[in-house]
Structure 1
């Protein structure tokens, strides 16, 4: 069938032929697929949420195959080192190893503090060299004089500022 398809006009055979028929199999080598994996992909990942990866961590060697044959028998016959070797063939890290804090929060806090200090110094630069000083009308004396002038002109006498001023006693009601 491949010969017939390749003789069609305009057909170009792929530059690389798939090594294995299972999707992603060429990426995992000779490692054994032992589960479904996330979204059906044959990948390895240490995770507490999904503790059983789809493939074993190491490829099968003669030593590991011999241990797997011995594993099918009585587990009391395996020594502690052999059990650890079997575990390390299937998993890269233990739960304690991959859940151990890495200290990457220190880098994040350091970057955040550097950014904050940069923003502080930029605001100081802008305050001293970019923006102009406030006009005189922002001083307390100018504001009090403007308020007194508004009261003398009786601005908003019904429900505004002048309605709250007692003109006979010269104070607020």
Structure 2
């Protein structure tokens, strides 16, 4: 009796120790993933990850982590914007965003890869079908030769095959020619 009680308390102690070892909150996991970047909004799906999107141009976090130069610019940003130079404004923009709208809308050369892959796939398909035609499939039977086909046509006309709507209906038997 005493040993079973001891085993039970020992088992409960181990289980509770396992359950309380390392609990991370969702915020801890998020901060681990994004580093020191500032969360500035909800984002397009609620998860703090940076995405350049034309349909939702407000990412939930800033693009870069803050450094001393950016911190000084951010302090200067709180004042009059006319005192900021163009380069400083661009640097502040690049701190928050990776691309401008013009860069996001600019055409890329991704279509060339797709067209090239399709052409390669077509070439491989044609090569396989031609190798089957020359190496796997047998030659055409003798009945496909022109001399035999004309003999078969003459025989069908002589037998008056399908005289209502078929071949014999289009042959004039009195004059021996096509109607």
Q: TM-score, normalised by structure 1?
A: 0.80
In structure 2, the partner of 1:4 is: none
Determine which of 141, 149, 164 is the counterpart of 1:143: 149
User: What is the deviation of 1:19?
Assistant: 5.7
The 3 A distance-change label for structure 1 pair 15 and 113 is farther
2:115 equivalent to 1:133: no
Superposed CA offset, 1:22-59 (max 9, x none): 77343222222222212211111112222111111112
In structure 2, the partner of 1:153 is: 159
Name segments (4+ residues, structure 1) moved above 4 Å. 7-11
In structure 2, the partner of 1:59 is: 65
8 Å contact from structure 1 (residues 42, 55) kept in 2:
yes
User: What is the RMSD of the two structures over their aligned residues, measured on CA atoms?
Assistant: 2.5
In structure 2, the partner of 1:39 is: 45
Whole-Å Cα distance in 2 between the matches of residues 140 and 47 of structure 1? 65
Whole-Å Cα distance in 2 between the matches of residues 20 and 119 of structure 1? 50
In structure 2, the partner of 1:3 is: none
User: What is the deviation of 1:82?
Assistant: 1.6
The 3 A distance-change label for structure 1 pair 122 and 20 is closer
Q: Which structure 2 residue ranges, 5 or more long, are not aligned?
A: 1-11
Q: TM-score, normalised by structure 2?
A: 0.78
**1:88-127 correspondence to structure 2 within 5 Å:** 88-127=94-133
Whole-Å Cα distance in 2 between the matches of residues 28 and 89 of structure 1? 15
Whole-Å Cα distance in 1 between the matches of residues 21 and 159 of structure 2? 91
User: What is the deviation of 1:139?
Assistant: 1.8
Compare the two structures and name the one with the higher helix fraction.
2
The 3 A distance-change label for structure 1 pair 68 and 153 is same
Q: Which structure 1 residue ranges, 5 or more long, are not aligned?
A: 1-6
Whole-Å Cα distance in 2 between the matches of residues 19 and 163 of structure 1? 88
